[in-house]
Structures are given as structure tokens and as C-alpha cells.
Amino acid sequence: MNNYSAKVAIVGVTGYAGRELDRILGAQSHIRVCGRFASTADPVAGIDSFSPDALRRCGPDIVVLAIEHDLSLEAVPLLLAEGYRVLDMSGAYRLKNPDLYPQWYGFTHTSPELLETAVYGLPEFFSKEIAGARLVANPGCYATAAILPLLPVYRADAIAPDSSVVVDGKSGVSGAGRKPRLDTHFCEVSENIRAYGVLQHRHTPEMVSWLPGSTFDRFVFTPHLIPINRGILSTIVIRHRDRAVVSAILADTYAGSEYVKVFLNSAPSVQDVVRTNFCHIGVTSRGDTTVLVSAIDNLVKGAAGQAAQNLNLMIGRS
């Protein structure tokens, strides 16, 4: 007897995000994970490699792709053509403008028509669109940590004209994926911190695209790798038009939010939110400057937890 309301297949279940999603869905009785597949690019002993036939045997309502963006780029149109709904956790379908892909991702987008219909999976703002979507693009971890505090501010036009918004992101190492690289070797990461992708990181166009009124010239994002497993802390400096507006708009926007909490004159830490789906936002002002500090677990609110929110919206649960 089935007491679940949806079947989900996860492709890329051996990576950190896919594994975390599998774990999260395991605690949700109304969703059944009917298939767990390794990426075709990364076969793992004991895990089936993804194939159309294997997917058909499982018969999912929704296929979640927790794989590299170049694989998602190709897989999404095939899966949609087979009639599956798709939740893509990569960056391949997050941007509306296909022209941004060559510069920031290094490839020409092969399905620009899908970019138009893809829904950006930010449940706090696009829950209706997500509910009806055939293709949902799950937001990036850094993007989530920046857009949640900034989107209400931009929408309220609360940023001083011609001023730059500066986002300084610090991420745990699981954000770099599970594939062994010298970059993620313990000895290279421990007792170290470094900035990377300075002025070139792929989450920059995602932030600028989804923050109305932002521009590449006045939006500066710098990611950093720090020696923790999980978590992102982003420190965001803006010049506000009116400090009262910024704190009020954030407090109001998230007053009833299940997962986003706002703290005035306080700054959250990663330990406050790790292993939860929460995003904590601290707001501090002086003069015409406001500092927003946001904290999420990059694998939960920044990936699998947000994916679980989206899956629930897609099957009609809030």
C-alpha cells in the first residue's frame, strides 16, 4: 500500500548534494525515492549508472539532477521529452539570458528555449511558478545566500543610486563537490583561506539576473573557500537610501517565513543554521551603510533542502 504521493529519482546520488537530498527525502513519508543513480560520468560500485531504461523501470514523477552542469544541459531536454518533470540542481538552466553562458560558463547553451520556461526554484518568491513548472532550476548555494537577503531590498528600490553592492561569500568545502582535487585536499584547505574566481564566479550572473535593478558594474561578488565542511556565510555591504526601509522590508518580507529569519543588530554564524534549512539574516546599519550577514547550510538551504522544498511545491504541497 502506497502512502506516498510522488515518486522521485535522483541522478547523481553519490555526490554531496544528491546524498543529502536522499537523506532529507528519507524523512518525508509522502515522497518515495524510487531510483538512485550515479552520474554517467562518475560510475560508482553498487550504484546504478543513469540510463533511460533504468529510469523507466522506476517511473518517477520528477527526476532530480544532482550532476555537473554540462551533463544537465544535455539531459534536461531528453527527460522533458520523455514526459518527466525535472528539478535540475546545476547551473545549466538558472539564467534567463542564454548570452550569459559563453562568458560565465564557457559553453553555448543548446536549449535556449528551455531557459524561457524554466522556473527559478526560490520558494520564498516563486512558489506558484514552481508548483506548475515542468522544469525547475534549483538555485546555487552562494546565490541563495545573497538573493534571500537582497531580493526584498532591490524590489523596494532601497539601494542608493550608482552605489555598489558588495557580496563577500565564504563557503565550506562540500560546495566544491566530492570529486578529489588538489584544491580540496585536506592539507591544502586546512589552516588556509583563499578567494577564488575573483570577479569571474558563475553565481555572479545568477545573482544579477534575479536581483531586479542590479547590474554587473555595480555588483561585486567574491567567493572564498574556508576550512569547514558545510555552510556559507555571506557578508553584504550596501549603501541604503533609508536604513529604516531596509530593516522593515526584510522583517516584513520574512515575518511569516518558515525558513528565513531576520535579526536586527545581530550577525548569525554558520553553526546557527548548519544541518537545517534555515537562512538567518543579520541587519546592522551605520550612517548610510547597511551590512547584511546571511548564513545557510550550503548543502541544505543552498542545495538539497531547497530542492526538497521545490519538490513539495511541485507535487502540490506547500
Q: Which residues are catalytic?
A: 141
- Shortest distance, CB of residue 191 to its own copies, whole angstroms? 5
Q: Does 186 bind its own copies (CB under 8 A)?
A: yes
State which of residues 164, 209, 257, 276 lies at the interface with its own copies (CB under 8 A): 164
Q: Does 27 bind its own copies (CB under 8 A)?
A: no
State which of residues 222, 242, 257, 261 lies at the interface with its own copies (CB under 8 A): 222
The three cell numbers locating residue 175: 560546495
- Shortest distance, CB of residue 36 to its own copies, whole angstroms? 19
Q: Does 43 bind its own copies (CB under 8 A)?
A: no
Reported as type and span, the H/E element at residue 88 is strand 85-88
Q: Does 163 bind its own copies (CB under 8 A)?
A: yes
State which of residues 15, 152, 205, 231 lies at the interface with its own copies (CB under 8 A): 231
Q: How many angstroms separate the CA atoms of 120 and 210, rounded?
A: 9
Q: Does 158 bind its own copies (CB under 8 A)?
A: no
Q: Is the CB of 152 or the CB of 172 nearer to its own copies? A: 172
Report the sign of the C-alpha dihedral through residues 72, 76, 79, 85, in that order: positive
User: Exposure string (b/e) for 176-200, b if CB count within 10 Å is 16 or more?
Assistant: bebeeeeebeeeebeeeeeeeeeee
Three-point CA angle 182, 13, 310, nearest 5°: 115
Residue with cell string 516563486: 126
The three cell numbers locating residue 256: 511569516
- Shortest distance, CB of residue 136 to its own copies, whole angstroms? 27
Strand 279-286 versus strand 289-296 pairing type: antiparallel
- Shortest distance, CB of residue 98 to its own copies, whole angstroms? 21
Three-point CA angle 306, 307, 310, nearest 5°: 90
The three cell numbers locating residue 56: 523507466
- Of 239, 259, 240, nearest to 248 by C-alpha is 240
- CB of 292 closer than 8 Å to CB of 281: yes
Q: Of 241-280, which residues contact its own copies (CB under 8 A)?
A: 267-271, 274-275
Q: Is the CB of 7 or the CB of 243 nearer to its own copies? A: 243
Q: Does 161 bind its own copies (CB under 8 A)?
A: no
- Shortest distance, CB of residue 298 to its own copies, whole angstroms? 11
The window from 35-43, 50-58, 120-128, 158-166 that contacts its own copies (CB under 8 A) reads: 158-166
Q: Does 174 bind its own copies (CB under 8 A)?
A: yes
Q: Does 237 bind its own copies (CB under 8 A)?
A: yes
Q: How many angstroms separate the CA atoms of 76 and 29, rounded?
A: 27
Task: List residues near its own copies by CB under 8 A.
Answer: 16, 163-164, 166, 168, 170, 172-174, 178, 180-182, 184-196, 198-199, 216-217, 220, 222, 224, 226-231, 233, 235, 237, 239, 267-271, 274-275, 282, 284-289, 291, 293
